[in-house]
Amino acid sequence: MAQSTVDVSGLTCELGGRTLLASAALTAVAGQSVAVTGPSGSGKSTLLACLAGLRRPTAGSVEVCGTDVLALRPSKAAAWRLATIGFVYQFGELLPELSAVENVALPLLIGGGARKEAYPAAERLLDELGVGAVADSPAGSLSGGERQRVAVARALSTRPPVILADEPTGALDEEATDEVCDLLFALPAARQCTLVVVTHNPVVAARADLRLRLSGGILSEEPCPDMTGPAGS
């Protein structure tokens, strides 16, 4: 069996007097996609923050690609995160004054990469993701769909084994949602990475290999939805 890239157990997180995660468990392997749904405020983003070592849980263990995330020293955590995790957020969170290619090259430059390698690599990624034509456009001028594709390219720039996407299609119309989903859900197989997507959209969640729901602190597996009926058609 493939080795887990994400291995979480007993994850408990109490915040503001609420138990957002009560002994949650999650295991995912390279090549697998996971969707997490649940009511607003249930703690989905908090779960991602725990996976990335950005939030310290109250209890439990978080292992990502063999690293005990909770044991990471603060001085090592940022470099580990840069190499291991790519983030995609709801509004892209690109730097609007920088061009698309500059945004995508940035993680490579921050990681100590040379400009002469970072920029061609960023351009290649933008081409691969179908947004090569906007490489030199300021990120602030892009459409929602273009912005999210560029955000995915940025997340992939350091070739991380884990991609965490928090409502990556939450600001997109149906057509752009489909396009960005096509791109995102192709990543695990194409790049042998693990994708964890937080979403409110059941159509997006249905595309994942593993669907989890977080509600009342309980993270539980959801059965494969029937998308053939009137509600899903």
Ligand X SMILES: Nc1ncnc2c1ncn2[C@@H]1O[C@H](COP(=O)(O)OP(=O)(O)OP(=O)(O)O)[C@@H](O)[C@H]1O
Q: How far is the CB of 174 from ligand X (least distance, A)?
A: 20
String marking each residue 43-82 x if it binds ligand X according to CB under 6 A: xxxx------------------------------------
Question: How many residues are recorded in the chain?
Answer: 233
User: 86 φ, ψ to 5°?
Assistant: -105, 135
Told to check if 42 binds ligand X by CB under 6 A, we report yes
According to DSSP, residue 138 is labeled: B
Our CB check for ligand X shows the closer of 15 and 224 to be 15
Told to check if 169 binds ligand X by CB under 6 A, we report no
Pick the piece of the chain touching ligand X (CB under 6 A) from 12-20, 98-106, 120-128, 129-137. Answer: 12-20
Residues 6+ apart with CB under 8 A from 188: 30, 31, 32, 33, 194, 195, 209
Phi-psi region of 197 (alpha: psi -120 to 50; beta: other; left: phi over 0): beta
Pick the piece of the chain touching ligand X (CB under 6 A) from 39-47, 57-65, 102-110, 215-223. Answer: 39-47
Three-state DSSP state, 103: helix
Q: Which amino acid, one-letter code, is at 16?
A: G
Query: Tokens in use for 217?
Result: 């602190």
Told to check if 216 binds ligand X by CB under 6 A, we report no
Told to check if 15 binds ligand X by CB under 6 A, we report yes
Identify whether the C-beta of residue 79 lies closer than 8 Å to the C-beta of residue 160: no
d(CA 187, CA 190): 5
Told to check if 164 binds ligand X by CB under 6 A, we report no
Our CB check for ligand X shows the closer of 46 and 158 to be 46
Q: With contacts defined by CB under 6 A, how many residues of the chain interact with ligand X?
A: 11
Q: How far is the CB of 110 from ligand X (least distance, A)?
A: 26
Identify whether the C-beta of residue 53 lies closer than 8 Å to the C-beta of residue 40: no
Q: Which amino acid, one-letter code, is at 120?
A: P
Query: Tokens in use for 154?
Result: 């940025």
Q: How far is the CB of 11 from ligand X (least distance, A)?
A: 13
d(CA 65, CA 59): 20
Q: How far is the CB of 36 from ligand X (least distance, A)?
A: 9
Q: How far is the CB of 164 from ligand X (least distance, A)?
A: 12
Q: How far is the CB of 183 from ligand X (least distance, A)?
A: 22
Told to check if 227 binds ligand X by CB under 6 A, we report no
Positions that interact with ligand X (CB under 6 A): 15-16, 20, 38, 40-46
